Amino acid sequence: MSKTITLNLNKALIFEAVKADSFDTARIEKCDDPVKLAAAAAAQQAGGEGHAERQMLRHLKAAIGKFEAQMAEFLVVADDSVSDDLASNEDTFTITLKVNDRYNSGLATPMSSLCEDYLVSMMLYNWWRKSKPEYSKNFVIDATDAIQHIRLCLAKTAPEASTQNYTDVTGTVTDDSAPSEDPTDPTDPTEPTDPTDPTDQTDSSEPTEP
């Protein structure tokens, strides 16, 4: 038996996390280097511009693909892919996993949060890997940690104890030394006689002796 886990995720919250990190990182760089042009720092910030939104959407689709590859043995194949959901105007999208029935159902919500952390980390890795490759490596570490904890959430719980008592497990001894009585034994002396035997009947048409 199995259970189905649906991870409900929000595109707007994921984009917000990416924008916040890129904004803070670029602002710190600008303050550390007064000579740096403001335009250079602004270019590193994921904003609400059309090109930035499209780039983040592309990074999100790539991050989801990597998550699905990592969790391939649990992934539920559907007619509509996650990418189709991302292309819509809805902010929410789902990833569905199928697990053993001994999975702890109370960990579904933490798994959704960990999945969001993984997606954000992979998006930030893609965002910074060209302009700040050394900085981007930190997000790979974060993403790897998130996947490891997601897999810990999928650990099976202990099996349920049986309601049977161990004293019910017994052995039976049968005595095979006594001869068996076969009712169809051909040596049975009580063989019935055939009432239609002609030697047992008297011909009523024959006259009697006077």
Beta-ladder partners of 93: 9
- Give dist(CA 149, CA 172) in Å, integer: 51
> Is 32 in contact with 139 (CB distance < 8 Å)?
no
Distance of CA 57 to the CA centre of its chain: 26
CA pair distance 5, 94, nearest whole angstrom: 10
Listed residue (87, 89, 15) closest to 53, CA to CA: 15
Nearest CA to 108 among 7, 202, 198? 7
The rounded distance, in Å, linking the Cα atoms of 167 and 84 is 58
Helix, strand, coil shares, percent, the chain, to 5: 50, 10, 40
Question: Under DSSP, is residue 104 helix (H, G, I), strand (E, B) or coil?
Answer: coil
What are the residue ranges spanned by the domains of the chain?
Answer: 2-12+52-153
pLDDT tens-digit map of 169-197: 778 888 887 666 665 655 555 555 555 55
Residue labelled with tokens 């007064």: 34
Give the start-end residues of each E strand in the chain. 2-10, 92-100
Q: What is the pLDDT of residues 8-46, one digit of tens each?
A: 999 999 999 998 888 888 777 766 666 655 556 666 666
Tens-place pLDDT, residues 99-128: 888 888 889 999 999 999 999 999 999 988
Taking the CA of residue 155 as centre, how many other CA atoms within 13 Å lie in the half-sphere pointing to its CB?
7
